[in-house]
Chain A
């Protein structure tokens, strides 16, 4: 039911792969035309905790194609403030997808985060356990 709502309101390039329960959703995200990710397809996983929407869902890229982006680590973790300490309960899956789409689209050079290698080795599975530092307002 909620998935149907998303289907009607999803931003361009977002499609539902699996949204049959209230705990885990899998979404497809296609790179916007005219950007560096044009034609690429990614998979997103949303994990909703019991306190959603008061607490943010766990959002990460999964699958074999993780976008190469200065704020996306190769294990799929996304450095985006609205997913962590700037979360607000009025946000929706559609608005998160839009944020991610915007983050990908405004990227000017496809390169991994500078600390990717060390982070991927030490990070825990849940990106919400990472202490993120948000420093870049441009991408």
Chain B
């Protein structure tokens, strides 16, 4: 839900004066539940798999993982951050950042050039995982995307927006607190309340909560109980 994320961060704009890449991402992470899965996960993935390619010669991971980071810090291009958000190809802070499904961060222009050059079998430059152009995930931070009118690179692929499990505008869930409060007794429409908590937690805004993502199993059980409840309701009404 990139759009929602942007709106929320804009609201916080007045609170924070600085605009370093790292603060942007932490705030986006804190405010948008959906983007939390994307952004912080790049960090461990980065440090784990930053060694280029399975090659006959051994390139040891710890040394190589450090290469890109001090590259930028040492150049003074991005001295505040340690290169966590720098493009793996140009080493600069990513412009129009995109993420591969394997979690590697690039400028869209850099990655696009590379994928075009090997369009037969596009692979991630870092880990050589398959990387089709339309599978790339754009990263929408707080800052505005700066488009160079001279650039011939096409626009980034748009973010994918899966249907929410429930309509977020539906009433009955308390937002922001992380707790779902139902007043009153079990009214018929809320027969499945114990499992409704799962939905409530999705909008809580807390990170690391164990109920943030509903597993298919939970969804299935929830649906089961809903059907059971409906059945009982119909039973009560008919007899």
- Chain A residues with CB under 8 Å of chain B are 1-2, 4-5, 8-9, 11, 53-55, 80-82, 86, 88-92, 94-95, 98-99, 102-103, 106, 134, 136-138
Contacts and interface: CB of A to CB of B under 8 A. Distances in A.
B2 interface: no
Nearest to A7: B74
12 contacts: A55-B117, A80-B57, A81-B55, A82-B52, A82-B55, A89-B88, A89-B110, A89-B125, A90-B89, A90-B126, A92-B68, A95-B59
Contact of B75 (A1, A53, A88, A98): A1
Interface in B26-77: 50, 52-53, 55-60, 63-64, 66-68, 70-71, 74-75
B71 A92 contact: yes
B59 A98 contact: yes
B92 to A, nearest CB: 12
A88 B64 contact: no
A5 B114 contact: no
A8 B114 contact: no
Given A53-B89, A90-B89, A91-B52, A103 B57 contact: yes
Nearest 9 A/B pairs, CB to CB: A137-B56, A88-B125, A99-B57, A5-B74, A89-B89, A90-B88, A90-B125, A102-B57, A88-B52
Contacts of B119: none
Given A5-B70, A5-B75, A88-B126, A54 B57 contact: no
Interface centre among B56, B68, B117, B126 (most CB of A within 10 A): B56
Contact of B71 (A5, A11, A102): A5
A27 to B, nearest CB: 15
Given A81-B55, A88-B53, A89-B89, A98 B64 contact: yes
Interface in B119-155: 125-126, 128
A81 B53 CA distance: 11
Interface residues of B, number: 28
B22 interface: no
B113 interface: yes
B75 A81 contact: no
A55 B113 CA distance: 11
Interface centre among B64, B70, B90 (most CB of A within 10 A): B64
Given A82-B53, A82-B55, 10 more contacts: A11-B63, A53-B89, A54-B114, A81-B56, A88-B128, A89-B125, A99-B57, A102-B59, A134-B56, A136-B56
A95 B67 contact: yes
Nearest to B117: A54
B182 to A, nearest CB: 52
Contacts of B75: 1-2, 4-5
Contacts of B63: 11, 98
A122 B47 CA distance: 43
A98 B52 CA distance: 12
A90 B68 contact: yes
Contacts of B50: 90
